[in-house]
Amino acid sequence: MSQKALRREMRIWGNLEHPNIVLLHGIIDHPEKHGCYAMVCQWMSQRTIIEYLADRPNFNFRSRLNICLDIAHGLSYLHEQKVIHGDLSPVNVLMDADVAHLSDFGLSNVIAELQGPSFYISENSGAARWAAPELLRPAYHEGIEINPVLTPACDVYSFASVAFYVITGSTPYSGKRSNNNIIAEIVLSTGRYKAPPKPAESLLTDACWDILMMCWALDPAVRPDIAEVERCLRRL
């Protein structure tokens, strides 16, 4: 089951070609672990955007916005191809030649198929701060199992969180470390939703903040699609 799901997602990734997508050259059997696979991907010389931005603390708003546009452009392409990333965060945005590339999309779909999205969130420390609220709801409600569904709107929410990080240098809900604390902050016990607060001092403009807030809408149905987000960002 897991091998079949993984190979399916790898076939999808292998057929994608875009300047903001990490190319997948193929998969190989792990030389030491039977039944495990290794991915052979395009080399990204500037590592993740975490290391990239750490080396460039004086980047201005326009330079940071260009990274966000790269991410939005790549995500828009994925959605055009009917592919949901499902795990967008800074560690999955890689840099090469000062261009952002998306990686590791589809792998969360395999995990969700096997264990459910709630398992993925619970087993990955810090993953909750990038995930859409609809993926953070309890796995059970009144004794009935609930399996959240990954949608393009989930990616749009995650994009806003990554863009927030790129522009401000801070992670959403930076004062919270554990997934449980983050979930409590995002979805309170009363069911009310709390979006990340706007930093008092940052490069984040009011117009850019308004775009992020649209992407962070609690109702996935009212979030803009990523193509519209990209158009809005290009007008800044």
Instruction: Give me the helix-helix angle, 2-14 and 107-115, nearest 10°.
Output: 160
Average pLDDT over residues 160-189: 76
Supply the pLDDT for residue 40: 81
In the predicted model, what is the mean pLDDT of the chain?
Answer: 81
* pLDDT reading at 52 higher than 90: yes
If pLDDT is split at 50, 70 and 90, which confidence band does 218 have?
confident
Whole-model pTM over 0.75 = yes
When comparing pLDDT for 82 and 229, which is higher? 229
Distance CA 174, CA 33 (A): 37
60-118 pLDDT, tens digit per residue, is 999 999 999 999 999 999 999 888 888 899 999 999 999 999 998 755 454 444 444 44
Tell me the pairing of strands 140-141 and 144-145. antiparallel
Q: Tell me, what's the pLDDT at 206? A: 93
- At CA 121, angle to CA 120 and CA 126, rounded to 5? 130
Q: Which of 5-14, 112-121, 172-181, 187-196 has the lowest mean pLDDT?
A: 112-121
Neighbours of 156 (CB within 10 A): 25
- The Cα 128–Cα 124 span in angstroms is 8
More confident residue, 185 or 189: 185
Highest mean pLDDT among 35-39, 92-96, 110-114, 177-181: 92-96
**Residue 133 and residue 216: Cα distance in Å, rounded?**
9
Position 185 scores a pLDDT of 58
The pLDDT of 5-30, averaged and rounded, is: 81
Output the pLDDT for position 188.
Answer: 52
Q: Is the dihedral of CA 7, 158, 92, 117 positive or negative?
A: negative
Give the model confidence (pLDDT) of 119-159 as tens digits. 344 444 447 788 888 887 655 445 555 567 789 999 999 99
Domain 44-234 bears CATH identifier 1.10.510.10: yes
Q: What pLDDT does residue 114 have?
A: 43
Return the domain boundaries, the chain.
44-234
In angstroms, what CA-CA distances link 123 with 130, 132, 165, 178? 14, 16, 22, 11
Kindly indicate the confidence band of residue 6, based on its pLDDT and cuts at 50, 70 and 90: low
Q: What is the pLDDT of residue 21?
A: 95
